[in-house]
Structure 1
């Protein structure tokens, strides 16, 4: 495979809110609409690597920024708006900085909430969307994760909790990443995800976001989904303990042109656990059919 098709990064985009690292995959000269991945809380761009590689092998160019959601290495500017609405604006600024248009935005977990905020506002650079298991409507945050979000609002409390996450048993346990995956997680990857929490500035960035999370935001956004007429594909793992199938189905019914597909035994981290299914949905949203390959 040529280097043009391999995942590159991290690269850096200079935005008004601060520098954002990102990874790019697929041919620069691709004739297909670009894909931009939006990850969730306490993970980084590497959540999308298995999906990006599949798309790249079929000629689709993708971009995966690491957003300031707790696993980022670069603190944002002190005055940056990092509320959920602010992160949505930051992601729009990322599209503008790279001069991307007709973008298919792809969101997972909290990143799906960010995509919904984007789809309810200025969509001039967005052509379509793929949403996997994520927050929606009044489930922001999900009831089962409300204590986590409450803790994340307090940087001092996070500083006390962070050392425990050095243990893989804790990170992969029932109170951390464990319930989000239907398969074994890479210990080195999850260690990298929590390591930035040791930084005071990173914890403060994360607190800005957590303090802005409230159910009314996505309920309000849903009232404007009818204005987006591009294709929306909802892919939902049916064994997710936090984001139930009914939530995904209701989300699909809120857009004028949406499909809804379930993934048996799938959980939140579909991009890691089921990259083939996710890549196929993205390709369909861009009007493509991927070549058959290993699941």
Structure 2
């Protein structure tokens, strides 16, 4: 891959690297104040937060890693555990390695699923949890709408996994319902989209990481986390949902908030990727929840 492919938006802050048991994770770090750690979903990277972070970095320290979910640039160790519990452990290891405490963990799409597992299994350094249009106990994983279930099926073999993603070489495929069209209401700029899709198309070790990650997902992990969070995690939770989400029904978000005793807010005029579609509205909702008026 060319050097430009690994570059992220400069508004995310400088790129840094941290060595963890599973491998080296690259992250970006900007701002000062209470710490926000962002967890993106499958086949995107830290750039998904590029419009949101500048709206928060004046009051918060924003840490945006590239998680090993197919659009990253630093492959994990060949033997790394990238199952859902393994990714949750990776999140916890990053918080440990950076000595972060009282973190607000913000997870979108499947990043919300991993954030639930990290909070349920490793709550020690997490102070708050934001679930942003993601899997709930009533969802499948991968989610059913849009044909995303094919991702796990294709991951059974390297050849089918590689073949499935070949249409993403064409920019005309990026807006299809079974690629990114059901996740982002508005088109994502080409530079960012190339950063999302080219690693899995062009880099074998990255593709291997992504295949392991998507091949191991299952709704049972979310159901287990949903049982544990109310008893193992004492901190506040926010269910922040896209009002027009086509993948994770907004009514599921409201029901989950009730089940967890969480706050509930919606982001208008957006699909799942609220940070892509409506960063200003998402930032306002986060600020309102994190810094309530007295």
Using structure 2 for the length normalisation, give the TM-score.
Answer: 0.90
Count of equivalent residues:
279
Alpha-carbon contact 1:182-1:273 (below 8 Å) kept: yes
Q: 1:156 aligns with which of 146, 155, 159?
A: 159
The answer to whether residue 256 in structure 2 is matched with residue 251 in structure 1 is yes
SS at match of 2:178: coil
Superposition deviation, residue 204 in structure 1: 1.5
Q: How does 1:187-226 map to 2 (within 5 A)?
A: 187-197=190-200, 198-226=202-230
Alpha-carbon contact 2:70-2:207 (below 8 Å) kept: yes
Superposition deviation, residue 206 in structure 1: 1.3
CA distance in 2: counterparts of 1:9 and 1:71, whole angstroms: 18
Matched with 2:46 is 45
The answer to whether residue 281 in structure 2 is matched with residue 280 in structure 1 is no
In structure 2, the CA distance between the partners of 1:176 and 1:43, relative to structure 1 (3 Å rule), is same
Alpha-carbon contact 1:155-1:200 (below 8 Å) kept: no
The answer to whether residue 137 in structure 2 is matched with residue 137 in structure 1 is yes
CA distance in 2: counterparts of 1:150 and 1:278, whole angstroms: 33
The answer to whether residue 237 in structure 2 is matched with residue 236 in structure 1 is no
Matched with 1:21 is 26
SS at match of 2:74: coil
Q: 2:173 aligns with which of 170, 173, 195?
A: 170
Q: How does 1:74-113 map to 2 (within 5 A)?
A: 74-113=74-113
Answer with 88-97 or 258-267: which moved more: 258-267
Alpha-carbon contact 2:154-2:164 (below 8 Å) kept: no
SS at match of 2:132: strand
Using structure 1 for the length normalisation, give the TM-score.
Answer: 0.89
Alpha-carbon contact 2:37-2:104 (below 8 Å) kept: yes
Matched with 2:3 is none
Superposition deviation, residue 7 in structure 1: 2.8
Structure 1 unaligned spans of 5+: 290-295
Structure 2 unaligned spans of 5+: 1-9
Alpha-carbon contact 2:42-2:70 (below 8 Å) kept: yes
SS at match of 1:120: helix
What is the alpha-carbon root mean square deviation over aligned residues?
A: 1.7
Matched with 1:183 is 186
